[in-house]
Structure 1
Amino acid sequence: MSRQLITFQLGDQYLGVDIMAIREIRAWSPATPLPNVPSHVRGVVNLRGVVLPVLDLRHRLGWGMTDPTARHVIIVVRIGEQLQGIIVDAVNDIVTVQTEDMQPLPDMGDTAAQQFLDGLATIDQRLILVLALERLVERAAMADAA
């Protein structure tokens, strides 16, 4: 069995998300900040009348803050019942990964990698970190938003 992923970059890192979770890919537009939200939530944007939370994926993964420019992209994904935007540096490609080519994460204790990743895949000699989207959003935040 195979799985299709959209791959994208955060700096030199290549990540992927299941293509079925993607709703759209849009150019960067500044987010309106909200008070008292987690530091990885950059704010909200208006997507054709829908208020969309925008997450700084780099910050959420513990790799520092994103300083968005016109070159950045917002990938709109469905996490649970809510649409969310995630800021990435660039979108690369659609790839097909065979289930047997997915590798589990090595056991490194309770790390952010274990928390936010589904596994690893090697595509064209490049290691792709496969995101577990549902784990990017805190459970309390998901319950409040619903």
Structure 2
Amino acid sequence: MTHVQERAQSSNAAVNAIAGKDGAGSEFLAFTLGQEEYGIDILKVQEIRGYDAVTRIANAPEFVKGVVNLRGIIVPIADMRIKFNLGTPVYDQFTVVIILNISGRVMGMVVDSVSDVTTLTPEQIKPAPEMGAAFNTDYLIGLGTLEERMLILIDIDKLMSSAEMGLIEKLAT
């Protein structure tokens, strides 16, 4: 099996798992990074907060803004604009931190803004296109289409459990 076939099979499995076999659809939290709109599984979201100052960690990757103390839990904060190389981030009144609970690990991700919760049926989710080696699509579930909107659906479990994100957890302890 070629890499493209493996990727397509993996993407289809992710679409089916997220969208649900019963056809009822799944809910995604829609947020923006730069000019694009993204979506993550709402069940992974613990809370949404305004962006506050973070405590920087020495020798952390650039996309790791630092850590915050959230009701006694040290939570690492990653800036997705830096992670996805979307230009210089600007922190303003719309900037938010999405607190995620991924396999029992609490972490936060900084995004430009959060718009709404969108329900997508399996028919509205298309597999992510193969972009070649220049663009890593491993963290994408697919593209969600809703009228004129298109959400880039992120497999937040896969993204947050990647090797470099594992560094965040080590830094926070």
The answer to whether TM tops 0.5 is: yes
1:56 is aligned to 79
Offset at residue 79 of structure 1 (A): 2.3
1:145 is aligned to 169
Q: Which protein is richer in helix relative to its size?
A: 2
Report percent identity of matched pairs. Answer: 30
User: Residues 13 and 113 (structure 1 numbering): CA distance in 2 closer, same or farther, change over 3 Å?
Assistant: farther
Offset at residue 141 of structure 1 (A): 4.6
Deviations 1:63-107 (A, max 9, x none): 123232232110001223311111111111111001121111111
Alignment partner of 1:105 is 2:128:
yes
- Structure 2: runs of 5+ lacking an equivalent: 1-22
Indicate conservation of the 8 Å contact 2:99/2:108, yes or no: yes
Normalised by the length of structure 2, the TM-score is 0.77
Alignment partner of 1:4 is 2:24:
no
- Structure 1: runs of 5+ lacking an equivalent: none
In structure 1, how many angstroms separate the alpha carbons of the residues matched to 2:61 and 2:135? 16
Offset at residue 113 of structure 1 (A): 4.5
1:21 is aligned to 44
User: Residues 27 and 143 (structure 1 numbering): CA distance in 2 closer, same or farther, change over 3 Å?
Assistant: closer
Normalised by the length of structure 1, the TM-score is 0.90
Alignment partner of 1:67 is 2:94:
no
Q: Extract structure 1 runs of 4+ deviating beyond 2 A.
A: 110-113, 134-146
Rg larger in structure = 2
Indicate conservation of the 8 Å contact 2:64/2:79, yes or no: yes
In structure 1, how many angstroms separate the alpha carbons of the residues matched to 2:134 and 2:144? 19
> How many residue pairs end up in the alignment?
146
RMSD: 1.9
User: Residues 127 and 53 (structure 1 numbering): CA distance in 2 closer, same or farther, change over 3 Å?
Assistant: same
